[in-house]
Amino acid sequence: MTKEKKIGIYAGSFDPFTFGHLNIIERASKLFDEVIVLVAINTSKKTLFTPEERLDLVRMSVSHIENIRLDVLEDGLVAHYYQEVGASALIRGLRNATDFDYEFSIASANALQGDTIETVILYAADEYRFMSSSLIKEIAYFDGDVSRMVPKHIDGKMKEKYNN
């Protein structure tokens, strides 16, 4: 019997990609045969980086991990993408109680799209619990130090965007 390849999908806005996201991907890559990092176009969020820029910035950040595939979800639901690629689980990161309510509703809504849609939650490591893309953007906007929160190339790109 050939073993079915277990694919996990880690979807997010990644605006920008942070060390917190990277930690989740590194851990998920040990649990799944392949992890697809899916840059989602969230219609309700105005983003600092375009989808293509976000994809490039993620690519540069995960080159040390072998079993990773990158994609952009141009339109449509993550749940449909999941079914198309035959994934085994959606991967999400959980930092705190505020995340919990949001993540719980997303997981429930996704489960209603198909009864095989499973969500696996990885708890944020202590050192990344406070990191969020929005907080990082606010700090970078005011020319603060985000070097311990994002990879170097992303720090540079944020400085360019904000003309710092």
| Interacting residue ranges for ligand ADP, rule: CB under 6 A | 12-14, 18, 20-21, 24, 42, 92-93, 95, 99, 124, 128, 131-133
Least distance to ligand ADP, CB of residue 146, Å: 13
Q: What is the rounded distance in angstroms from the CA atom of residue 56 to the CA atom of residue 59?
A: 5
Radius of gyration of the chain (CA): 16
Mapping DSSP onto H, E and C, the string for 1-27 reads CCCCCCEEEEEECCCCCCHHHHHHHHH
| Closest CB 10 distance from ligand ADP, rounded Å | 7
Active-site choice (6, 27, 59, 95)? 95
Q: 43: Cβ–Cβ under 8 A, 6 or more apart, which residues?
A: none
| Residue nearer to ligand ADP on the CB measure, 4 or 23 | 23
Our answer to whether residue 80 is catalytic in this structure is no
Query: Is 21 one of the annotated active-site residues of the chain?
Result: yes
Taking the C-alpha atoms of residue 22 and residue 86, their distance in angstroms, rounded to an integer, is 24
Among residues 88, 92, 133, 157, the one annotated as catalytic is: 133
45 is annotated as an active-site residue: yes
69 noted as active-site residue = no
Of 45, 69, 153, 159, the active-site residue reads 45
Backbone angles phi, psi at 69, to 5 degrees: -125, 145
The minimum distance between CB 77 and ligand ADP, in angstroms, equals 13
Helix axes of 78-85 and 97-112: crossing angle, nearest 10 degrees: 60
Nearer Cβ to ligand ADP, position 21 or 137?
21
What's the closest the beta carbon of residue 14 comes to ligand ADP, in angstroms?
5
The residues annotated with a catalytic role in the active site are 21, 45, 95, 133
